[in-house]
Amino acid sequence: MPFEVASGLLKALYSPLFYQYVKGEERVFQLYNGDFRSIDSFKKRALFLKKKRFPRGTDRLLAESGSIALQNINREKEQKDDKPCYVITGQQPGILGGALYVPYKVLTAINLANEMQECLGMTVRPLFWVAGEDHNLFGITRTFIPPPDRGGALRLRLEMEHFGLPAGEIKVPPEKMIKLINKLEKLTEVKEKNENYDFSVLNTLRRLSVTEHTLGSWFIAVMSYLFEGHGLYFVDPLLANRKKFYTELLLQVVEEGPILHSLIAIAERKIAAEGFIPQVRRSGKESLLMIVWKGRRQVLWREGESFFTSNKDFFITKRNLKTLIRERPELFSPNVLMRPIFQDSIFANLAYVCGPGELGYMAQIKEVYEHFGLKMPLLYPRKGVTLVEPKLRRHLEYYNISAEEAILQAQNKPRRKRRGKEDPRFEVLRENLWPRSRPQERVFNLFPFLVREGFSFWENFCYQFAALPAGHYFYSWGEGENRGG
């Protein structure tokens, strides 16, 4: 089997909190809402969700967000006694799907939804929350691909101005998308294309990009291609806001902001007592909301009954702010700590598939969930993978070391020298297994591998990935083998 457990890397690649959570430390589970390894935890959560009322119209919201599993919605409507639950994950809409860990999160969510549907005997849908309200275009509009030979990671960037608007509202001209795909083709060219080199992947990307998209809708189109047939749904929170799913929650946050900060502080003391550092730093003066004002998404601060942006170009009283929210809710969105509350007030969230950062800030809001009459969903850690191409296997065999040993050595600076310079073979290992001094899954994009190895490489990967428990793995494939088999 091409997957190999990399248990020794869990501590090296992830935060201490995430590491201990995956390893099943009972004291860490106390910061959350149950043990993700226990089916009893899922049964308890499902029972809570069955008794909880959620807003109507969420199916329509999924359909209008561009979900690819609409036929399932129609079929499930016939089962009037079946109230669907969701396994949710999410991320900002990065170009071409973003870094590798994003599709890994999605696959983890799909597999968990399928498993829970069978175990619980109820409809469980995998759902991707497209965080189009995010305005960090620097991170959204660039990704990296592995070097074809020696050298560092190659940057792939969408040429867009950083307007400061939410990504889901920024339109991308087709010619810019096509230019990006042409650059992807150029950067994945090798002297001799192997038999698996797949032009159809590039052609599909071009076909998806011939019409104008926003960064959010383009992301959904690309992810729909990757996960066609997996029953994956998408939701656009910007659309939810325009349809006023959020209005009452926005008003409640305005009214109760100081109380919410005190609840977060309680959780942070518990986090510190266990020896961890809260993920999200806060001063207590944040309103916990963001506002789009004068073409930029900005933090909305609070002082007493007054609310304002950092440069004071927006200043308003609480009473007038609540009036503005009722009239124009689309201007407002939750900050990172409140986003899960808004999400889980709309959907019956059985479990959230999270990475290290998300696991960190979710620990800060357990009491906030309770305040809103909710309970935190079960948090299922996403699976991690490091891809080991055939050329890397050859270099590992040359040194007679494992991929895990190579990464640990790369973390501690290159040690293999020849005439004062790094050995070229080890340079290739370092730049592919520990690119830009970061875990591979947080740097490289998936599509260079699909272009070089063929789309069925991805299909085989997905099939074998489904059987893996939480943890980190190496995935390798041999030369001449068909698509990673």
Q: Give, for 277, the enclosing helix (H) or strand (E).
A: none
Q: What is the DSSP letter of 163?
A: -
Q: Is the pLDDT of residue 344 over 80?
A: yes
Over residues 109-137, mean pLDDT: 94
The C-alpha atoms of residue 302 and residue 251 are separated, in whole angstroms, by: 14
Over residues 23-35, mean pLDDT: 95
Ramachandran class of 380: left when φ > 0, alpha when ψ lies in -120 to 50, beta otherwise: beta
- Tell me how crowded residue 125 is: count the other CB atoms within 10 A of its CB: 25
Q: Is the pLDDT of residue 371 over 70?
A: yes
Over residues 148-171, mean pLDDT: 85
Over residues 449-455, mean pLDDT: 92
Provide the whole-model pTM. Answer: 0.93
Going edge to edge, which strands form the sheet with 85-91?
A: 233-235, 124-130, 85-91, 349-354, 378-381
Q: What is the pLDDT of residue 336?
A: 95
Structure tokens at 367: 């009491």
Q: What is the pLDDT of residue 191?
A: 53
pLDDT band at 7 (very low <50, low <70, confident <90, very high): confident
Of the two residues 197 and 455, the one the predictor is more confident about is 455
Q: What is the pLDDT of residue 78?
A: 41
Closest to 451 measured CA to CA, from 199, 193, 179, 84: 199
Percent of the chain with pLDDT over 90: 74
Q: For residues 5-15, b (16+ Cβ closer than 10 Å) or e, as one string?
A: ebeebbeebbb
Q: What is the pLDDT of residue 24?
A: 93
The C-alpha atoms of residue 398 and residue 402 are separated, in whole angstroms, by: 11
Q: Is the pLDDT of residue 417 over 80?
A: no
Q: What is the pLDDT of residue 18?
A: 97
The C-alpha atoms of residue 465 and residue 208 are separated, in whole angstroms, by: 26
The C-alpha atoms of residue 92 and residue 99 are separated, in whole angstroms, by: 11
Q: What is the pLDDT of residue 114?
A: 97
Q: Which of 194-198, 250-254, 411-415 has the highest mean predicted lDDT (pLDDT)?
A: 250-254
Q: What is the pLDDT of residue 481?
A: 47
Radius of gyration of the chain (CA): 23
The C-alpha atoms of residue 11 and residue 387 are separated, in whole angstroms, by: 18
User: Residues with Cβ < 8 Å from 193, sequence gap 6 or more?
Assistant: none
Q: Is the pLDDT of residue 177 over 90?
A: yes
DSSP string, 84-151: -EEEEEEE---GGG-BTHHHHHHHHHHHHHHHHHHHHTS-EEEEEEE-TT---HHHHSEEEE--SSSS
Q: For residues 207-223, b (16+ Cβ closer than 10 Å) or e, as one string?
A: ebbeeebbbbbbbbbbb
Question: 40-79: per-residue pLDDT in tens?
Answer: 999 999 999 999 999 988 888 898 888 765 545 544 444 4
Q: What is the pLDDT of residue 199?
A: 85
Q: What is the pLDDT of residue 181?
A: 95
The C-alpha atoms of residue 361 and residue 357 are separated, in whole angstroms, by: 7
Of the two residues 422 and 417, the one the predictor is more confident about is 422
Q: What is the pLDDT of residue 77?
A: 47
User: Residues with Cβ < 8 Å from 40, sequence gap 6 or more?
Assistant: none
Structure tokens at 308: 């304002």
Task: Compute CA distances 306 → 254, 317, 319, whole Å.
Answer: 10, 5, 9
Question: 207-259: per-residue pLDDT in tens?
Answer: 999 988 999 999 999 999 999 999 999 999 998 888 889 999 999 999 999 99
Q: What is the pLDDT of residue 81?
A: 47
Query: Degrees (nearest 5) of the Cα angle 42, 93, 74?
Result: 55
Report the mean per-residue pLDDT for the chain: 90
5-14, 159-168, 173-182, 310-319: segment of lowest average pLDDT? 159-168
SS3 state of residue 378: strand
22-36, 62-76, 361-375, 421-435: segment of lowest average pLDDT? 62-76
Q: What is the DSSP letter of 251?
A: H
Q: What is the pLDDT of residue 485?
A: 29
Q: For residues 146-168, b (16+ Cβ closer than 10 Å) or e, as one string?
A: bbeeeeebbebebebeeebbbbb
